[in-house]
Amino acid sequence: MDTLARKSLPEHVRHAHAWAERQLNRASQFIRSASVSSTPSLCEIRNQYSICCEINLFLRTS
């Protein structure tokens, strides 16, 4: 979504988008760091990936 389109959204929607983007960045960063580390479990990585997918879907549909 471009900046002009984002500015035309209601404030609560802009806040929701910003929150979702932050969560997506956190999940992506966790997945990247977990893939080079030997300690995270497959379950943790899968959970972060599913959160990442849900947020991606939210951002695309709102």
Rounded CA gap, 62 and 55, in Å? Answer: 11
- The pLDDT score that the predictor gives to residue 1 is 56
- The pLDDT score that the predictor gives to residue 43 is 79
Q: Where are the domains of the chain?
A: 11-61
DSSP 35-50: HH-S-S-HHHHHHHHH
Encoded tokens for 35: 């893939």
Q: Tens digits of per-residue pLDDT, 41-57?
A: 777 778 878 887 888 78
Is the model's pTM score more than 0.85?
no
Is pLDDT of 30 > 80? no
User: What is the residue-averaged pLDDT of the chain?
Assistant: 76
Rounded CA gap, 55 and 27, in Å? Answer: 10
